Amino acid sequence: MGTHGDAPATPDMVALVGCAHRMAEQAGGADVTDDELYQVIDRVLFGEKDGWACALEGLLTRTETANLILAHLESWLMDRTGRSWDSPISLGGGSLVTQVERALFGAR
C-alpha cells in the first residue's frame, strides 16, 4: 500500500518549502528562512529518517510520508519559535497534508 512505482524521481522541494513556509507563518515563525525549512525537509527525506527511500520502497504511503515531514517540521518549528506545545499548529483540516503529498508525489 506504499508508493512503490508511482513516485517521481525526486520530490518538488520548492513546493515542499512553500508548504513549510505557510506552516511556519501559522507557528509565528515569519522570520524562518526558506533555507532553514529546506534543511529540515532534506534531513527527513534524505538524511536521518531516509523518508524518501522508505516511500519509494513502499514502506510508507503517500500520506505517511507527508505526515512524517509535517511532524518533524512541527517539532522543529515549536523549538525554533518557542511556541508552547499547548497551542499546536493547525494543518488546515488536512489540506496541508494533501499539498505536501502533491509536492512529494505529484497529482494522482
Residue 89 has what DSSP assignment?
P
More confident residue, 94 or 95: 95
Question: What's the pTM value of the predicted model, to 2 decimals?
Answer: 0.87
| Averaged pLDDT, 8-33 | 91
User: Smallest Cα–Cα separation from 72: which of 20, 25, 13?
Assistant: 20
Q: Is the pLDDT of residue 27 over 90?
A: no
More confident residue, 89 or 57: 57
* Residue bearing cell 526558506: 34
**The predicted structure's pLDDT at residue 91:** 64
Distance CA 71, CA 37 (A): 13
Q: Is the pLDDT of residue 1 over 50?
A: no
| Alpha helices by DSSP H, 1-108 | 13-26, 34-46, 51-56, 62-81, 95-105
